[in-house]
């Protein structure tokens, strides 16, 4: 049973470019969460999605960041016009519907903005 | 805003010693997760505790959830060098649209010396 998959594992972008991070949840999981881990900081919640719905985006920056989880395909976290402060590790997690809090994390995407 | 205070931040011990990591909050959580994270990887789930006062054992690791579901501890008996890593606690919020959102502690970096 494959775990949560994220790609790419490493992404380098120049300031002003767009970054697209992909996440495929574990089989049978319909809940997807995105977290960001800044250098020297802990993991911070960004957004919670179910298929075709954003449930909670209270942790998302108001501008340049968006997320989706379409009916078919992976969840996408999109960062437009990246800035150096966006450099971080971005983790996706998924959970089964019935268990509150039990989330399984992917290996993360390390974004570096030059 | 829910906060989780994790202590100690750093722990350096000799192989064979026992240790305890604490996770405290003024907020009540619906569940509490403990993760271990290796450099360059995502957090790996160790355990979920749900019921106040619950104790779970995983080989040499003992996890406890406080009666009021505001605090938790991780105790490792006879530490081994393979236990070295970053340990994270994370509380799940079950209220409204924040269902399942995890709030993380700052982490404890454990180093076990041979």
pLDDT value at residue A97? 73
Q: Which residue of chain B comes nearest to A31, CA vs CA?
A: B100
Q: Is the pLDDT of residue A1 over 60?
A: no
Sign of the alpha-carbon torsion through B112, B19, A101, B104: negative
Helix (H, G, I), strand (E, B) or coil at B96: helix
pLDDT value at residue B112? 97
Helix (H, G, I), strand (E, B) or coil at B98: helix
d(CA A24, CA A26): 7
A63-114 residue pLDDT tens: 999 999 999 999 999 999 999 999 999 999 999 876 677 899 999 999 999 9
d(CA B110, CA B85): 5
Helix (H, G, I), strand (E, B) or coil at B26: coil
Cβ contact A19:A79 at 8 Å: yes
The residue among B39, B16, B18 whose CA lies nearest residue B85 is: B39
The verdict on a CB contact (< 8 Å) between B33 and A103 is yes
Task: Band the pLDDT of B94: cuts 50, 70, 90.
Answer: low
d(CA B64, CA B89): 12
Between residues A47 and B93, the one the model is more confident about: A47
Find the mean pLDDT for residues B84-95. Answer: 88
Q: Which of A10, A43, A97 has the most B C-beta neighbours within 10 Å, making it the best mutation to test the interface with B?
A: A43
What are the phi and psi torsion angles at B96 (to 5°)? 50, -130
Number of Cα atoms under 13 Å in the Cβ half of residue B8: 9
d(CA A20, CA A91): 13
Is A91 at the interface with chain B, CB within 8 A? yes
Chain A contacts of B94, Cβ < 8 Å?
A: 100-101
Among A101, A105, A110, select the one facing B100 at the smallest CB separation: A101
Find the mean pLDDT for residues B29-34. Answer: 92
Find the mean pLDDT for residues B48-63. Answer: 94
Find the mean pLDDT for residues B63-78. Answer: 95
Q: Which residue of chain B comes nearest to A110, CA vs CA?
A: B40
The verdict on a CB contact (< 8 Å) between B98 and A58 is yes
pLDDT value at residue A98? 62
Is A24 at the interface with chain B, CB within 8 A? no
What are the phi and psi torsion angles at B83 (to 5°)? -80, -10
What are the phi and psi torsion angles at A84 (to 5°)? -60, -35
């Amino acid at each position: 049973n494959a775990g949560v998959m994220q790609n790419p594992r490493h992404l380098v972008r120049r300031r002003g470019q767009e970054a697209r991070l992909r996440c495929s949840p574990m089989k049978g999981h319909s809940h997807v969460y995105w977290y960001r881990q800044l250098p020297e900081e802990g993991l911070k919640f960004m957004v919670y999605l179910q298929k075709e719905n954003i449930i909670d985006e209270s942790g998302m920056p108001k501008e340049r960041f968006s997320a989706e989880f379409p009916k078919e395909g992976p969840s996408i976290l999109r960062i437009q016009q990246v800035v150096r402060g966006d450099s971080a590790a971005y983790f996706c997690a998924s959970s089964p519907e019935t268990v509150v809090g039990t989330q399984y994390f992917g290996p993360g995407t390390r974004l570096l903005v030059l | 805003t829910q906060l989780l205070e994790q202590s100690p931040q750093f722990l350096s011990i000799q192989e064979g010693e026992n240790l305890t990591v604490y996770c405290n909050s003024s907020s009540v959580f619906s569940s509490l997760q403990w993760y271990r994270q290796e450099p360059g990887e995502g957090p790996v789930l160790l355990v979920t505790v749900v019921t106040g006062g619950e104790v779970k054992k995983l080989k040499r690791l003992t996890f406890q959830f406080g009666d009021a579901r505001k605090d938790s501890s991780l105790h490792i008996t006879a530490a081994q060098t393979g236990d070295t890593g970053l340990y994270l606690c994370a509380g799940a919020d079950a209220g409204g649209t924040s269902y399942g959102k995890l709030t993380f502690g700052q982490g404890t970096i454990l180093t076990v010396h041979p």
